[in-house]
Each structure stands twice: as structure tokens, then as C-alpha cells.
Amino acid sequence: MLPALSRLSFGVEPNERRNERERVLAAVRQDGNALEFAADELKSDREIVLAAVTKNGSALYYAAGELDSDREVVLAAVTQNGNALEYAADELQSDREIVLAAVTNIGWALEFAADELKSDREIVLAAVTREGDAFDYAADELKSDRDFVMAAVMENVRALFWAAYALKTDREIMLAAVTQNGWALYYAAEEMTSDREIVLAAVKHAGWALYYAADELKSDREIVLAAVTQDGDALEYAADKLTSDRDFVLTAVTRNGMALRHAADELKSDRDFMLAAVMQNGEALKYAPNELKSDLEFMIAAVTTSNNPNIGLIGDILQPLSEKSREAVESAWEALTPLGRSDVSQAVIDETCKRLDSLYDTMSGIERVLNFSEEEVENKEELIEALHEMSAVLGHYDNNPCVQLRLRKWDPDDE
């Protein structure tokens, strides 16, 4: 909240006036925008205004008198907040040092510079370096200047959006842009989206840039594979003939398992195909069809082959286990046990305590899993605390042997 300030009126005693000035000065040093609530005569007090804009440059808006023409005051304001240039007197919006300070702080401040400075190469480049879209306010002559546009794009690829159209057909500029940031393909002239080298460079940096490629390149196996390797979701933009090509998609999912999301449905029902995807990225399991998720043998294989088994994978296994025999449950835990990995054991701990309150007859199998990984579990104290909290919050688990077993195992002192 801004400090409370009262307005001075005529006839105020000198001591009161002095005290009021001191209060205002203290207030603007805390929050420059408190200047808004000062008496008019204090808004023209140079010391107060300078203190205010040094704290909050935008407070220049509230300055009275000729302080918007005071070079020191305005320079302090734009150094703190470049957009304060909007409130500077016209002659200072033509001051090269002040404008350069403003755009160096906030590129958008170029909007408030005098026209002659919008063609100043150093000033515009400083503005574009901060915000690529500041190029919108540059003089047209710079937007058509090939050398300048190349320099601007190398500083901030967003500047390309505001460049003259002719330069968006310049192969060298476009290649430099997409090499720096693949999504610059969005700004390319149509003929550039058919240029194989440019598109390949773009998707290597940002796979989803495939969306902007010409249709014929969305069928190019090398380009699509490069895109999918960078971003599995890029497969969504590939030609249909590739998303249903088993050999191609198999290669894609071995590079990025998440590409499975956009594979043809018939491929997702292929066990070997699914396992290849899950092996690369365990999260791909969520795209498996329900018939495979309910296949215990497949689910065990998925977890034991995945390069990053996680809570989600374990959770998907636990649910069907509740419908299996004791022998099936124990078989599942025996398959998980050799992994000996703390991330798997943590998942078992979390999901077991949440879901297995009805599986009293599986305790021997669960205990076998719990025993193998004690030395590998990190943050043992945090785990104990979490288990106690779970037991306290979920009252109906108080007598659950799963929770009690966890507490006894990790916190022997707990009775």
C-alpha cells in the first residue's frame, strides 16, 4: 500500500510544510509512485521527483513543472524503466543518450523515440536485442536493409517478423534464422518452406516446426525423423503415409518413445512395437490400448524393459494385480525385484500404500520388494515423515498392514 500523503494547502505553517516535504520524500524513496498523492507544489520539487523516478521510472508521469525536460531526472527515469521515455519532453525523446538508455532497459521504448532515432542503427539494434518485436517501431529503411536485418535476426530471431517481405525470401537470412531458432520457419516466405536444407535445419532445432514445412517435405523420411527425434509430438504433422509405416514409426519411437502418441492405432496394438516405444521412454505406456494395459505379462515386460520406470507405470500394473491370484502377484514382484532401482521401489511404496488396502494376501510378495531396495532409497527421513502423514490423514489405513509394514520397516522406533 502506498504511504498516505496529504495535500498541502495555502496558509500551512512553514514547519508543517517542511514536515510534509520530509514525509513525501521518505514515501517516494520507498515507492516512487507515491508521488501521485503528493501536493502539486511537491510534484515540482526536483529532489523529490528525482528520488521518485530513481525508485520507479514510471513516476515521471506525475512530475509537474518542467521536470520532464530535466535531463538528469529523465535519464534516471528511463534507466530504471525504459517506458518512462513516453513522459519525457519532446526534446529529450530526441536525445540519443537518453533514448539508448531507455531501449537498453526496455526495447519497446523505441516507440516513444523521435523519428530520426528510429533509423539509428545502434539504437534500433539495442532495442531489438531486448525485444525482437521492437523492430516494429524501426524506420522502414532499416526493415529493408539486408545487412541490418541479418544483424537483428542474429540478436533476436523475432525481429524477422517485421522485416520486409523480400528479405523473408533471402535464403541466407532464413537459414541463419532457423539455425538459431527453428520456429523462425513460421516467418519464412512460402517458397522457403519448400527448401529442404532450411526445413531440415529448422526441425533439428524445434521439431514442431515441421508444421510449417511444405506438404512434400512432410513425407521426407529424414526430415520427419529429425523432427521426431527433437520432439516426439512432431509426428503429428507428418504425412499419413509415414504415421502408418511400421518400419518408419518403429525407428521414430526408438529415438523418441513419445512419438507413439501420433502413430496409427493399429501400430499401438502391436506388442513388440509398444515395447520398443516404452523401452525408449516409459511414459509412452500411457498411449497403449486398454487390451495391452490389462495384459499382466505385457505390463511386467514394459516396466522391466523401460529406461525410466516410474510411479505411473507401477500404478498401471497395480490395478490389474488386484484381480489376480497370489501366485500372479508374487510373480509380478519377482519380475520387478531384480531392477534394484530406487525410483521403482519408491513407486511401489507410494502406489502400494494408496491402492493395495484390499490385497492382504499379497503381503509376502510386497515385503519381498520392500526388502531389496532399502540401501538405495534416498531421503529416508522424508519418506518416514510422509508415511506417518499418510497414516494420519488417511484414517482408514490405520490398520492396513501395508502402511504398518512401511512404518515398521523404515522407522523401527515407531510402535
The DSSP code sequence of 323-378 is TS-HHHHHHHHHHHGGG--HHHHHHHHHHHHHHGGG-GGGHHHHHHHHHHTGGG-S
CA-to-CA distance for 308 and 343, rounded, in angstroms? Answer: 8
CA-to-CA distance for 166 and 187, rounded, in angstroms? Answer: 12
CA-to-CA distance for 175 and 132, rounded, in angstroms? Answer: 18
What's the sign of the alpha-carbon dihedral 76, 77, 82, 84?
A: negative
Q: For the full predicted model, state whether its pTM sits above 0.75.
A: no
- Name, in order, each residue with C-beta under 8 angstroms of 367's C-beta and a sequence gap of 6 or more: 405
pLDDT in tens, the chain (415 residues): 445 454 444 445 567 777 888 999 999 999 999 999 999 999 999 999 999 999 999 999 999 989 999 999 999 999 999 999 999 999 999 999 999 999 999 999 999 999 999 999 999 999 999 999 999 999 999 999 999 999 999 999 999 999 999 999 999 999 999 998 998 999 999 999 999 999 999 999 999 999 999 999 999 999 999 998 888 888 889 998 888 888 888 888 888 888 888 888 888 888 888 888 887 777 787 788 877 776 666 766 666 665 555 444 544 444 444 444 444 444 554 554 444 444 444 555 444 444 443 333 333 333 333 333 444 444 444 444 444 444 443 333 344 444 444 444 444 454 4
Contact 51, 28 (CB under 8 A): yes
